[in-house]
Every structure is written in C-alpha cells, then in structure tokens.
Amino acid sequence: MATANSQNRVAVVTGASSGIGEATARALAASGYRVALLARRLDRITALAEELANGSIAIAADVTDRDSLVAAADRVRQELGGADVLVNNAGVMLLGPFMGDQRDDHRQMVEVNLLGALTATEVFLDQLKDGGGDIVNISSVAGRTARAGNGVYAATKWGLNGWSESLRQELLPDVRVTLIEPGVVATELPGHITHAETREGVQALYDKAEVSAADIAEIIAFVLSRPRHLAIHEVLIRPAGQL
C-alpha cells in the first residue's frame, strides 16, 4: 500500500485553472507530486504545467462531460502511471433568489458541484484503489448551514457532504476520503454570479476576504501528508471573523 511519501505520487486536480484548484496544484507540486491539471481553460492549465516544470500535465476536461473525464483518466494512466490522489475542486457558486429566472444556474450548480464530483470519482476510482489513494472533496461552509439566496448552492454542498461520508465508509481502509469545507476565500467565484444584485453584495464580501486559496491548499497538502494509518475526514475552515 502507498505511503504518505509524496515522491512519485500523482494527483489529479479538477478546476485547476484558478482559485483553490490552482493553489492546490502548486502546493502538491511543491510537495513532490506530479499533477494532472484538469479544467476547461486549457491555456491557463498549460501555462501552469509549464511553470511547475516537474512532469505535471494539462488536460482539457469538463466534469459535466463523462467522455472527457474518461479520456483524461486514460492520459493520466498512460503518461503518469495512474492517479494516487483525486481533488474534486471544480465548482460554481451561482447565488441568487430561488425563482424561475435562475433555473439554468440551478442546473449548472447541480451538474458541476455534485454530479461532476461523482463522475470524476467514478472514472478515476480504479486508479485510486490500485495501491491506496486519497479523495479530497472541496465542499463549503454552505454544506452545513443554508442562508437566504444560496439554497441550491447549499443543496449541492450538503449532497457532497453526505455522499463523502458514505464513500468514506465504503472505501476504507484502502482509499481515504477527506471533506474540506472553506468559508469565504479570495477567489473568482463571485464573478460568475448572474443575478446582478446578489453578485454586487457577494463581491463586496469577497473583496474583504482574508483567507487565500493558498491557505486552503496548504491544509490539503497537510492532510495528504499524514501517514496511511491516519485519516483526516473533515476540515471546516472559516476566516476568524466569519459568523
């Protein structure tokens, strides 16, 4: 079974083109991992792979498209020898009031945040089981507490939390499952919100964010560095001043 030694280990990070995904890729590369960078924006992840210059590769993939994930998994096996770690980070936060005008946003959040993580895990699971692996699911404080205007986003994160706990029990002891639940983190997430009034309010909050994506990435790298007999199943992270 694999050890916590990151040398020669391979990590797959979805949503690696920005935010927590990009920061996690950098942190894991610094820890000795080769990283398969998965995202739709191939130009960004290609530049990042070249910057890392450690054998990491960039793969254009959309977590809502199973065929693209299957193709990505084939490349990871062929070019890197298979995945030891999967970080399900791809996600969107399309907040706004619950009304028909937002129905496309609702569907997109379910397909990316929840179904995307399920599909990526299903596709890479055989590789992760081969020698002992790790799954890190990036959830949110919203997976614990819902507020007005974030109902569908919270629903996707609550779903991710419940599925992660079930998966943890199914896969132990060979594959460790860790749930990371950040609060407000300085990322580009608010910029995708389509409801103008909500976007303005959320952006003002995020402009004051004191926790960086690198802070979250550091915690993920720490979790993965623990010896195989120890599993950290859940990490809730808030800015010190967040309610």
Q: What is the pLDDT of residues 210-242, one digit of tens each?
A: 899 999 999 999 999 999 999 999 999 999 988
Low-confidence ranges of the chain (pLDDT < 70): 1-7
Distance CA 2, CA 238 (A): 32
pLDDT at 1: 30
Helix (H) or strand (E) holding 57: strand 57-60
Phi, psi angle pair for 88, to nearest 5°: -85, 90
Tokens of 80: 């890197």
Inter-residue contact 10 to 80 (CB < 8 Å):
yes
Distance CA 109, CA 126 (A): 26
pLDDT at 178: 98
Distance CA 126, CA 147 (A): 37
Distance CA 16, CA 88 (A): 10
Residue 70: DSSP 8-state: H
Distance CA 21, CA 13 (A): 6
pLDDT at 47: 98
Residue 96 burial (C-beta neighbours within 10 Å; 0-12, 13-18, 19+) = buried
Distance CA 184, CA 141 (A): 9
Question: Residues with Cβ < 8 Å from 210, sequence gap 6 or more?
Answer: 186, 239, 240, 241
Catalytic positions, written as ranges: 153
For residue 162, give the amino acid letter. Answer: G
pLDDT in tens, 101-133: 899 999 999 999 999 999 999 999 999 999 899
pLDDT at 243: 74
Inter-residue contact 73 to 123 (CB < 8 Å):
yes
Distance CA 12, CA 8 (A): 13
Flag whether the pTM goes above 0.85: yes
Distance CA 65, CA 52 (A): 27
Tokens of 29: 């590369």
